[in-house]
Amino acid sequence: MTACHPEAPAGIVAAMNRHPAHGPSRPLLALALALSAAVAAVAKPGDLVEVKLETTMSPAQVDAFIGPLYEGYEAPKAKYSIDVYAVKFESVYPDGEKATAFAQVFIPRYGAEKPALRALYAFGPGSTGIIDACRPSREHVAGIRWGWYRSHVLSHAGQGTIGVIPDYLGFGDPDRDQYYMVAQAETAAMLDAIRATRNLIAQLKVSGISDTRNFVAGFSQGGHAAFAAADGRASYAPELRLDGIIGYGPSTDLIALFKEFPDVAPMALYTFRNLYGASAVDPELALAKSFAPTLDFDVTRQCVGGMQSYYPIDPKKLFNPAFAEALLSDRLEEKYPGIYRILKLNSTGLGGHGVPALICQGTEDIVVSVASQRAFAEAVRARGDAVELRIYEGARHDTRQTAFAEVQAWMRAKLK
């Protein structure tokens, strides 16, 4: 990668020279001086650390790339070529330590179009695992199908939407695991990814953009992250405007998730214990005796597909009898107050964020039930926030394909 510092500015200069759609390139000396000033200043969350132009995709290449994601659906036809960047940017871990995060950024080439408001779509992937081998940005390189997240965001970019997919905090750091379902970490990753994307657009002087309207979106865990970003925006990034939240089967309520799809609960328990301490969250109090002793090994030896095969989907089999009974009878607060407190602390979307939301939910979803999603939507409305819950008959957990046109229309309406 090309580092964004005075010793190595040529990569960004070359990227601008190769792509006149981004406007006139700056002289090398001027850019070097600007980068020197940036390095001299105190780094801020969202500041660019490294930038690499990976490729430019024509509309035909985008259509071919996204095709497998839309098998059985009508795939959207790309209208724009897209510049694809790999970026590293500044962020902050929940413990307050500096973090370097990674994202894939997708910028349409608007050509001679007049500058206009453009939608910026920050997309949180679904659960992939907690170790670095499971980071979402590795999916298209390794040929794994966790969710074809790059294809999904390219679909939106092909329609003229600026896209960014952050890896969650902890990925890419050899000394840390992903902060799985930690609302504070997801807030930082999502909002700093938007900051970094806007910084990149400004640095490259991309033509055709007068400003952005910013949307946080996500599938499953990513929906949890999108609502976390909305909850945390006022305190973490008050200068940043959010215009909408889009959740595809969002897993916002962690207690409901433990009941309905406990396969992912071990990753959350492992993460919460490491972050908050065993006195607050002791996985041995929750997990069955057959799973508790090997928790650390099991969640760090495989990605999400392996864990879904390894752990039972029945909470009565994954958890010990006492915990399962308390969970399923809604007595967790009484019987396990420490675990209950952390699960509630990291449930998202009910912070009175004031951002309009669109939830796309399938009737055949086995991860988040329609009943749980309805209850969540009602709780959001009770706090005075606007939310549309759209139910798709026959759809399972992933509603991204069937909801694509409606999501595009919803964002376009917000731009107006």
The residue ranges of every structural domain in the chain are 1-41, 49-252+348-415, 254-345
Higher pLDDT, 38 or 381: 381
CATH topology identical between 49-252+348-415 and 254-345 = no
Closest CA to 23 of 116, 106, 110: 110
Rounded distance, CA 217 to CA 121, Å?
7
Closest CA to 49 of 162, 159, 195: 195
Q: Which amino acid appears at position 127 of this protein?
A: S
Is residue 371 scored above 90 in pLDDT? yes
Task: Note whether 166 and 101 are within 8 A (CB).
Answer: yes
Rounded distance, CA 94 to CA 178, Å?
11
What pLDDT score does 25 carry? Answer: 38
What pLDDT score does 16 carry? Answer: 35
Computed over every residue of the chain, the mean pLDDT equals 91
* pTM, two decimal places: 0.90
Is residue 392 scored above 50 in pLDDT? yes
Task: Note whether 97 and 33 are within 8 A (CB).
Answer: no
Task: Note whether 316 and 260 are within 8 A (CB).
Answer: no
Instruction: Sort 391 into a burial class: Cβ within 10 Å, 0-12 / 13-18 / 19+.
Output: middle
**CA–CA distance from 51 to each of 16, 18, 146, 189, 246 (Å)?**
12, 15, 25, 17, 27
Q: Does domain 254-345 have CATH number 1.10.3470?
A: no
Task: Note whether 146 and 136 are within 8 A (CB).
Answer: yes
What pLDDT score does 308 carry? Answer: 94
Q: Across the strands, what pairs with 214?
A: 120
Is residue 19 scored above 80 in pLDDT? no
What pLDDT score does 36 carry? Answer: 47
What pLDDT score does 145 carry? Answer: 87
Query: pLDDT for 72-115, tens place per residue?
Result: 999 999 999 999 999 999 999 999 999 999 999 999 999 999 99
The CATH number for 49-252+348-415, chosen from 3.40.50.450, 3.40.47.10, 3.40.50.300, 3.40.50.1820, is: 3.40.50.1820
Q: How many helices (H) and strands (E) does the chain have?
A: 18, 10
Closest CA to 99 of 34, 44, 140: 44
Query: pLDDT for 177-220, tens place per residue?
Result: 999 999 999 999 999 999 999 999 999 999 999 999 999 999 99
